[in-house]
Amino acid sequence: MTGLRRTSTDRRRRARVATTAAAVVAVLALLPGCTGDAGGTGGTGGTGTTRTTGDTVDARQQLDSRRSEAEAKRDNLALLAEVREALTKVNPALRWRTPEPAVESGSLCKKPFDAVDGAGTLNLTAGGAFGSIPDADWPRAWAAVKEVAAKRGYGDEHVLKDEPGGHQASVYDEDGSELSVGTGVNTTATIFGACYLTR
């Protein structure tokens, strides 16, 4: 077998390829996101931490403008007490399982507030009642609930279910808290709280 002979043309071609490759690497190194800070660890070309920090600051400012978690808890427990009273006026036979509304559970906030320290949500319950609101009385009961809820800033309405033997509807406040009331075999009233700071 005879070996391939390398000519001066081959050497020049290889030199051009090597020079071109070096130039491409140099250009890529100057582009944002192609540097060692592509993971966004804080350099000006990174996208991760800088953007996340900005989002966290914006989310924190939004939460700072809201009432505190303690204030929301107080207001929402009072609202649930008023809801119980309104529903009981429509059907005095309702028997509430607990003497008063209470906090049912708490959790961390969802995006965009999940990275904000000291932020959380509370779910509150009216306690649930044995007995239902009769179909014929549901429109009056729901109107009474909306009336007391409106005084506390709840307004945007969503009806999930409205059929014989079962009704479920919600109203929302500007922070995103949801007051949900339903009746079937029994009757429930729950507030799924928005995100607030625990200050």
What confidence tens digit (pLDDT) does each residue in 88-126 have? 999 999 999 999 999 999 999 999 999 899 999 999 999
**How far is residue 18's CA from residue 154's CA, in Å, rounded to a whole number?**
69
Rg (the chain; Cα; Å) = 31
Higher-pLDDT residue of 172 and 39 is 172
Tell me: pLDDT of 49 over 60.
no
Q: Which domains does the chain have, with CATH numbers?
A: 8-62 (no CATH), 66-197 (3.30.2030.20)
The answer to whether the Cα torsion of 141, 149, 107, 74 is positive or negative is negative
* CA-based end-to-end distance of the chain: 84
Q: Do 189 and 87 meet the contact criterion of CB atoms below 8 Å apart?
A: yes
Average pLDDT over every residue of 49-54: 39
pTM to 2 decimal places:
0.70
The CA–CA distances, whole Å, from 38 to 32, 42, 44 equal 8, 10, 10
Q: Do 127 and 159 meet the contact criterion of CB atoms below 8 Å apart?
A: no
**Which range (5-19, 32-46, 56-70, 105-119) has the least confidence?**
32-46
Structure tokens at 60: 């924190």
The CA–CA distances, whole Å, from 132 to 98, 114, 135, 197 equal 16, 37, 9, 36
Q: Do 31 and 24 meet the contact criterion of CB atoms below 8 Å apart?
A: no
Structure tokens at 9: 């043309």
Q: Which residues of 11-22 are buried (b: 16+ CB within 10 A; e: fewer)?
A: eeeeeeeeeeee
Q: Do 170 and 160 meet the contact criterion of CB atoms below 8 Å apart?
A: yes
Residue 46, SS3?
coil
pLDDT score recorded for residue 120? 94
The answer to whether the Cα torsion of 192, 196, 198, 199 is positive or negative is negative
